[in-house]
Amino acid sequence: MASVEQVPAAAKNGTNPGIPVENPATGETIATIPTLSTAEVKALVGRARAAQPAWEAIGFEERGKVLRRAQKWVTDNSERIIATIVSETGKTYEDAQLAEIMYAAAAFGFWAKEAPNLLADEPVKSANPLVKGKKLVVRYRPVGVVGVIGPWNFPLTNSFGDCIPALAAGNSVILKPSEVTPLTSLLMAEGLRASGLPEDVFQVATGDGATGAALIDEVDFVMFTGSTKTGKKVMERAAKTLTPVGLELGGKDPMIVLSDADVERAANAAAYYSMNNGGQVCISIERVYVEAPVYDQFVARVTEKVGKLRQGRSSGPGSVDVGAVTFPPQLDIIDSHVRDAVAKGARVLTGGRVADGPGMFYEPTVLVDVDHTMSCMTEETFGPTLPIMKVADADEALRLANDSPYGLQASVWSKDLRRGEALARRVEAGTVCVNDAQVNYTALELPMGGWKTSGLGTRHGAGGIRKYTQQQTLLVTRFAGKRDPHMFPYKKRTTQLLGKLTRLLYGRGKRD
């Protein structure tokens, strides 16, 4: 368990009162972190800006060496990192190991290897005769100082994880973690220092919303992960300084189970991908539409599996299946969604209430007889609940799946892969899996981002690092006379020749 003594000394500085950090599985205060003021955030950014040019100048190879040392540091210190994550989030040991440690270790290596390729100068060829013989290049240069505002559900993967490609691109980074789960970020700052990262290239700004707002005002790019409501506020604040943003926001991810699906696999996936990390996953399965012929079978199997899940405080590998609710207000949202559904006619087949005893736990819950009048089917719940709705056919399932302001992720389940993929292509979401869910996030080559109100831009893939750069076009004229034909003074004969050239090059288009 993390304690105040384990928090780096730098985290204890700050002029404002501290924020207590609690273990949501026990209610125990495990640390106190400072709230940095606007002036303190500005000073952090100043130091980051001063440190950035040298970090950029050492190049991809040297930056890659630091990232690979950090990769080893994560694996060497995995137990300590897991203990810190579990203590401040209340999640299980496995959720911290599989979804956080393995991700971070992979990400350090991936971006160290791929950054030179994805950000290399790109030669461009043009069909325009005016630039024949000239050198055309697109290059990517770091924006300068990146501000990352992270969520509380995955303090390593979805908070610190966004810093890795930004660093690989040659930026300095300031991470503002959630005040609910800041300890992992502070620990990773220690790890980067131990891995040889130069001073002030990575810093942590602890604090509340005001700290985050101050950071937005000072940096050159903002990456935010969190709710759609807060994402709109981030974008509005950034607009005042025309600071570009990347946003990964809310989701209400649908699962469509067709009548020819492997029901056992689909049921196992529904139980796991709705309940892992306590359901506090942006790409968690939050609602299920099942074709009538397999509905009863699917519901029975899911209910049995969810009903057997062990919930409680994690004491190590294999001790529990579902952990705590990390953020106190989220517990109220989960409970209100279930109560709303029951009041409108839904039935609870298992779970359905706040668990007794210490800590913040909501029982793994399966709901049926649900519809789109209920908040559990239309609003992001972000908890261990699974509402399941019977549909007549694939068309009804698709219509309901797309009946949402969100479009982050979805899944389609069918043994007919051609049919499954065809339906997946009609789902309005940034990512759709067929006969799987969530594992796309582990393929760092794949872009991951939302449609509709689920965000702007992507993480992972080429876009996941290029967003932290400024694109620059270079045109170099190597061989040329004193004057080009189109330059002043205009001459009638030259103008007529250019007109003929235009008709020759572009006047042969197909006519209707």
Residue with tokens 């831009």: 457
Q: How confident is the model at residue 508 (pLDDT cuts 50, 70, 90)?
A: confident
Containing domain of residue 372, as a range?
253-444
Q: Among 444, 478, 505, identify where a domain stops.
A: 444
Structure tokens at 173: 């980074």
The CA distance from 293 to 191, in Å, is 53
Residues 134 and 146 placed together within one structural domain of the fold: yes
Instruction: Confirm whether 506 is domain-assigned.
Output: no
Q: What is the pLDDT of residue 509?
A: 66
Q: Is the pLDDT of residue 5 over 50?
A: no
Residues 45 and 175 placed together within one structural domain of the fold: yes
The CA distance from 78 to 106, in Å, is 13
The CA distance from 253 to 377, in Å, is 10
Residues 272 and 245 placed together within one structural domain of the fold: no
Q: How confident is the model at residue 6 (pLDDT cuts 50, 70, 90)?
A: very low
Alpha-carbon Rg for the chain, nearest whole angstrom, is: 26
Q: Is the pTM of this model over 0.85?
A: yes
**Angle at 168 (CA atoms; ends 72, 116), nearest 5 degrees:** 105
Q: Which of 443, 444, 421 is nearest to 432 (CA)?
A: 421
Tell me which residues are annotated as active site. 248, 282
Q: Is the pLDDT of residue 16 over 90?
A: no
Residue 29's DSSP bridge partners are: 22
Residues 135 and 264 placed together within one structural domain of the fold: no
Residues 83 and 232 placed together within one structural domain of the fold: yes
Residue with tokens 């502070």: 186
Instruction: Confirm whether 34 is domain-assigned.
Output: yes
- The stretch 179-202 carries a mean pLDDT of 98
Instruction: Confirm whether 148 is domain-assigned.
Output: yes
Instruction: Confirm whether 419 is domain-assigned.
Output: yes
Instruction: Confirm whether 358 is domain-assigned.
Output: yes
Q: What is the pLDDT of residues 379-403, one digit of tens each?
A: 999 999 999 999 999 999 999 999 9
Instruction: Confirm whether 225 is domain-assigned.
Output: yes
Q: Is the pLDDT of residue 14 over 70?
A: no
Indicate the SS3 state at residue 88: helix
Instruction: Confirm whether 57 is domain-assigned.
Output: yes
Residues 297 and 428 placed together within one structural domain of the fold: yes
Q: Which of 82, 84, 77, 114 is nearest to 95 (CA)?
A: 82
Buried/exposed code over 22-35 (b: 16+ C-beta within 10 A; e: otherwise) = bbbbbeeebbebbb
Q: Give the torsion sign (CA, 64, 65, 66, 71).
A: positive
Q: What is the pLDDT of residues 39-95, one digit of tens each?
A: 999 999 999 999 999 999 999 999 999 999 999 999 999 999 999 999 999 999 999
- The stretch 134-149 carries a mean pLDDT of 98
Q: What is the pLDDT of residue 510?
A: 61
| CB proximity list for 62: less than 8 A, separation 6 or greater | none
Residues 21 and 118 placed together within one structural domain of the fold: yes
The CA distance from 421 to 412, in Å, is 8
What CATH number should be reported for the domain holding residue 151?
3.40.605.10
Residues 210 and 267 placed together within one structural domain of the fold: no
Residues 276 and 158 placed together within one structural domain of the fold: no
DSSP one-letter string for 363-419: --EEEES--TTSHHHHS---SSEEEEEEESSHHHHHHHHHSSSEESEEEEE-S-HHH
The distance in angstroms from the start CA to the end CA of the chain is 73
Four-CA torsion 129, 132, 134, 138, nearest 10 degrees: 70
Kindly report the average pLDDT of the chain as a whole number.
Answer: 95
The CA distance from 252 to 376, in Å, is 9
What CATH number should be reported for the domain holding residue 299?
3.40.309.10
Question: Domain total for the chain?
Answer: 2
Instruction: Confirm whether 456 is domain-assigned.
Output: no
Q: What is the pLDDT of residues 119-133, one digit of tens each?
A: 999 999 999 989 999
Residues 49 and 165 placed together within one structural domain of the fold: yes
Q: 443-447, 466-470, 498-502: which has the minimum mean pLDDT?
A: 498-502
Residues 216 and 359 placed together within one structural domain of the fold: no
Residues 244 and 214 placed together within one structural domain of the fold: yes
